Amino acid sequence: MKNYDYRFCVKASLQVMKEQRDSIYYDSCNNHLIYSGLHETKEELQTLYFQYYLIEWLDNHWGQLHYILDNHPEYSIDQKREFTLFYAGYFSEMLDSWVASGTLSKLMIPNILQSQKETVKELLMFSEKWEQSSNKLKLLIKKHREQFEYEIKKYEK
């Protein structure tokens, strides 16, 4: 038997997805990465800005998840772990569908998505080490930012 509140899991998961959909809509007019990409004359740099935004957007799903969990102290660590695993399962399916669709095949990010997907699968497979895997995912998110910032600086020269 699972030791979590299924209703809370579904409601919080939907909340994360809704807030991130709202975010992508709002950001299409107001985010500096998208704005920079739209006004960049170098095609490679323009693509990097858009990819950087997309990875940031995906990474923000995890940030929002942790924010929600941090604001619910009534749930135990085990319950939060179960919820994280619940969410990771659906997030992994979303990444799989993006990779399978081929939509991202021409971009730099398939490798980044693959590493993120592997970390999420690791989180699911080794649920007893969920905190360690969750921290690995946070480091991966930081690495994504650094990679894109490096690539953008390289093209700006």
23-74 tens-digit pLDDT: 988 988 887 778 778 888 888 888 888 888 888 888 889 889 989 989 999 9
Look-up of token digits 């360690």:
132
Q: What percentage of the chain has pLDDT greater than the value 70?
A: 83
- The answer to whether the beta carbons of residues 81 and 63 sit under 8 Å apart is no
Under the banding of pLDDT at 50, 70 and 90, the label for residue 1 is very low
Name the most confidently modeled range: 69-73, 83-87, 105-109.
69-73
Question: E strands within 27-85?
Answer: none
Average pLDDT (92-114) is: 70
Q: What ranges do the domains of the chain cover?
A: 6-156
Distance CA 103, CA 97 (A): 10
Cα angle at 118 between 49 and 32, to 5 degrees?
Answer: 15
Q: Which helix (H) or strand (E) covers residue 126, if one does?
A: none
7-23 tens-digit pLDDT: 888 999 999 999 999 99
Residue 121 has pLDDT above 90, yes or no: no
